[in-house]
Structure 1
């Protein structure tokens, strides 16, 4: 892991060049400079750096960072949980330890064939942990929203959890993503409603808020819905779904809004990598290869599993990204846009 982080630093220095990173220098789900030391320490069984990182995000109300860091730490704990076990034994009521533990529980049940039943059983404990986190932290409620979505909770139950999340932070990206995905899951084909929800959230948010990228997430849901054709490599015009043609102006507007948000971050920024990877995916599906090439340049060596792991039948997100990147450059070399 330490060698991977050293490669990250070297790749970051090289990525200031406008040339794309070579395939060997591309990094999947690389942590940023704040998360990396916590993960290195966790690999050694030490929880103090993770505790300090999450405590800082809570004290500074950095809810989007807190959400992402808790998710990454929980994902790490799926295979190496000794540090989390020690943390919970040392401080059983620590809200940050409870947050990571709750997210780990949801992660572990998510891929089970019995997901709905398992998550339904743990919702009370996840909600209890969220209530114990106090009156300002929305991130545990985002975890509760994910659990409710996986459990196929009825609308009234989900809305109750949603109200708790937005009461604490009306512009928290993760809570909005959970609500958007719940809407998409429970109302198949309701692309217009998903775009309505996302556009309203983005319009009301501050200029630099991550939730302003929510329409891009809704566009992704529209473009990947059953019947909309293949993944990146084919333009939206090649996809046969009438929904894509119907909503094309709104999909372009979502990509444009996300492009403006991307421009507010420096090139080769690990924090902006997921936004830019998702933007590349959507731009390619819309046939906007020149715009996609610019986002590929900006993302530098940083590849994120999402959205590339969502391509049906493709278990290799890094390989999928490299394939799409090569296709984009091939389009430009032939003079296509």
Structure 2
């Protein structure tokens, strides 16, 4: 009987795995951290040593109070400046008091400090750069997101952290980046616990605006729990609820929309850990060609390769549970399997 079950499983996988690829982007079409249509030209120009397009992009986000876009673009531009500095050095030389250049400068300094063994000391030295960025435009919440990241690396006590958090939400109560930074500070790996992390994430999700990615914050708390280990156990029901909420948020965006791509990649990781294979396959369809480094760079030095490998693994898991013969040739399109699953053995 064991041999028969193994043969049936192999037959199902061989027949169904290729069918489950329908609707998924081909491997060579999948992009890692693909920029959107606004950021792309700025990166291309920066590659030529020109900063004007990047400066205009960030200026536009500041003037229009597009704080979510501003945060993402500043982060990506700072990441680019870590390896290609000529364009950014020229920008800082030509416009040393430009609030947009000051923002990227602060983000870049914090990122570089995090990579050093002397992280805490270096981070303390870049405090004035964050202050300068915050003074560049007092409305801007993004320097306060950087300050929250900075606080995590400098052993800032809870009282001081709460003051930074108050300044951040006063400027933008529902800013996603600030919420993520606060969640990381409150995680068990830093200065909080799994309970604090989940409590904060769930309250924020309840208060979030409709369609906001902040609604998916609990799935980040689930990710922290699943990857950090230790501490008090989190009930499986709470992990499933976080995943279900993120699935609902993901469903409010169009398929292959680059904006929620990171949340969708993160959700897929959590669904894999929860062994919710059909839900994970459904999320792969929503991701389309937009793979993101996070969370796959947490488990592999080749995040794109890891994403593609796990994508194949999800299809195999779903295929192995499908009937050998399908009625009327219909595919069982991925559906939620929440509610009928037994708890996974790794929690």
The normalised TM-score by structure 2 is 0.83
Q: Distance in 1 between matches of 2:251 and 2:190?
A: 34
Q: Is the 8 A contact 1:32 1:270 kept in 2?
A: yes
Structure 2 unaligned blocks of 5 or more: 1-20, 323-336, 338-347
- The Cα shift of 1:319 comes to 1.5
Q: Is the 8 A contact 2:194 2:232 kept in 1?
A: no
Correspondent of 2:224 among 221, 225, 238: 221
* Pairing 1:174–2:177 present: yes
* Pairing 1:280–2:284 present: no
Q: Distance in 2 between matches of 1:37 and 1:18?
A: 32
Q: What residue number does 1:157 align with? A: 160
Q: What residue number does 1:132 align with? A: 136
Map 1:81-230; keep pairs closer than 5 Å. Answer: 81-134=85-138, 136-184=139-187, 185-187=189-191, 190-227=193-230
Structure 1 unaligned blocks of 5 or more: 1-16, 228-240
Q: In terms of mean alpha carbon deviation, does 151-160 or 318-327 score higher?
A: 151-160
- The Cα shift of 1:18 comes to 5.1
Q: Distance in 1 between matches of 2:236 and 2:232?
A: 10
Q: In terms of mean alpha carbon deviation, does 28-37 or 256-265 score higher?
A: 256-265
Q: What residue number does 2:296 align with? A: 308
Q: Distance in 1 between matches of 2:236 and 2:246?
A: 15
Q: Distance in 1 between matches of 2:155 and 2:177?
A: 18
Map 1:5-24; keep pairs closer than 5 Å. Answer: 19-24=23-28
Q: Secondary structure at the match of 1:208?
A: coil
Q: What residue number does 1:329 align with? A: 315
Q: Distance in 1 between matches of 2:149 and 2:198?
A: 20
Q: Distance in 2 between matches of 1:18 and 1:162?
A: 45
Give a deviation string over 1:296-330, Cα, whole Å, max 9, x none.
Answer: 0111111100001112xx21111211121111000
Q: Is the 8 A contact 1:138 1:165 kept in 2?
A: yes
Q: Distance in 2 between matches of 1:127 and 1:175?
A: 16
Give a deviation string over 1:254-285, Cα, whole Å, max 9, x none.
Answer: 11111111112111122221111001001111
Q: What residue number does 1:253 align with? A: 241
- The Cα shift of 1:242 comes to 6.7
- The Cα shift of 1:71 comes to 0.3
- The Cα shift of 1:127 comes to 2.2
Q: Distance in 2 between matches of 1:242 and 1:284?
A: 22
Higher relative contact order (CA 8 A, sep 6+): 2
- The Cα shift of 1:64 comes to 1.3
Cα 1:186–1:216, aligned 2, differ >3 Å: closer, same or farther? same
Give a deviation string over 1:169-203, Cα, whole Å, max 9, x none.
Answer: 11111111111101113346x21211110111111
* Pairing 1:33–2:37 present: yes
The runs of at least 4 consecutive aligned structure 1 residues that moved more than 4 Å come to none
Q: Distance in 1 between matches of 2:190 and 2:111?
A: 21
Q: Secondary structure at the match of 1:271?
A: coil
Q: Is the 8 A contact 2:183 2:201 kept in 1?
A: yes
Q: What residue number does 2:72 align with? A: 68
Larger gyration radius, structure 1 or structure 2: 2
- The Cα shift of 1:131 comes to 2.8
Q: In terms of mean alpha carbon deviation, does 23-32 or 65-74 score higher?
A: 23-32
Q: Distance in 2 between matches of 1:161 and 1:214?
A: 19
